[in-house]
Structure 1
Amino acid sequence: MTDIPALKLKNQICHSLYSATNALIRAYRPLLDQLGLTYAQYLVMLALWDEDKVIIKSLVQRTRFDAGTLTPILKRLESKQLLTMVKASSDSRQKVIVLTEQGKDLADRARRIPDNISGKIDMPVEDAQQLKALAEQLYALINTNLAESETE
């Protein structure tokens, strides 16, 4: 046993964030099952519903998935006929991700998911916005510090 506060599980930010993330994904699961999507696939579809016809590099930046994670997700969504991957006309080495009509239509069925999740969480909007802002700040700080340590 240790008496070191920094090594106590109850004091770990990472544990709280990990637990909250898992709980949130579990809350999404029954709603996404109705659409035939996993949570990761849903994030990709959200990015594509926001902006269609994008190169994979852009999708990597927007979803924050690395290319090795994103590629199998895209292939699975393509097998579900929700998108197609075509060579870019400007550079044949690049692939452009394009929603199919079925992929575009799925947005209508997904429209109520954010409200359903908000109803399950029952958190004041201001608190949810602050939580998101703090999570974004943490993400940016960690990425900045990682980038700096990689260049040293």
Structure 2
Amino acid sequence: MTLAPSDMLCFALHSTAHAVHAAYAPLLQPLGLTYPQYLVLSALAARDGQSVSEIGADLRLESNTLTPLLKRMESAGWVTRRRDSRDERQVRVSLTEDGHNLADRTAGIPRAFAERTGLTLDQVIDLRDVLAVLRDRLKPAKP
């Protein structure tokens, strides 16, 4: 028996991911941010000075995706990239003053997005946790 896309879990996840990106666009566009840039900015606001590989592991992005993104963010003046003085193979990424200011301006975005879902805070947390379990079962993070 062949299932219609609307009956498939994969399609529900795929179409929801597109809807999530679309819902974030009006929140991020006034700040000049794309969704991937917002994720990097949030990761650095939570823990500044991470290596490119640490950011990639946290966001589950390969370096060939992350490096051009970081270069654009550096060109915009939001981050700096520097070789680690203890390990030249590692590149450390830090927020600039403008990057910190931009991160401060994004502080209300998670709440605005959560409100847009129409879910309660407990439902948002439960859904996030279920999706994280599913993600980790399907593709564990790289060590």
Same fold, judged at TM 0.5 (above): yes
1:118 paired residue among 114, 119, 125: 114
1:35 CA displacement: 1.1
Q: How many aligned positions are there?
A: 142
C-alpha separation between the residues in 1 aligned to 2:6 and 2:117? 22
Structure 1 runs of 4+ aligned residues shifted over 3 Å read none
Q: CA deviation at 1:43?
A: 0.5
> Which among 86, 92, 98 is matched to residue 102 of structure 1?
98
Structure 2: gaps (5+ residues): none
Which residue identity is paired with 2:96? T
* Aligned partner of 1:86 among 79, 82, 85: 82
Please point out which of 28, 32, 38 is paired with 1:42.
38
Structure 1 segments unaligned to the other structure (5+ residues): 148-152
Residues 114, 124 of structure 2: 8 Å contact kept: no
1:62-82 CA distance string (max 9 Å, x none): 111111111111011001000
RMSD: 1.6
> RCO (CA 8 Å, sep 6+): is it higher in 1 or 2?
2
* Percentage of pairs with the same residue: 35
Measure the CA separation in 1 of the matches of 2:79 and 2:107.
Answer: 18
Give the Cα separation in 2 of the matches to 1:107 and 1:57. Answer: 21
- Which is higher, the Rg of structure 1 or of structure 2? 1
| Rounded Cα–Cα distance in structure 1 between residues aligned with 2:117 and 2:87 | 45
**TM-score where L is the length of structure 2:** 0.93
Letter in 2 for 1:77: M
Q: Tell me the TM-score normalised to structure 1 length.
A: 0.88
In the alignment, structure 1 residue 65 sits paired with structure 2 residue 61: yes
Secondary structure of the residue aligned to 2:139 is helix
The aligned counterpart of 1:75 is 71
Q: For 2:27, give the aligned amino acid.
A: L
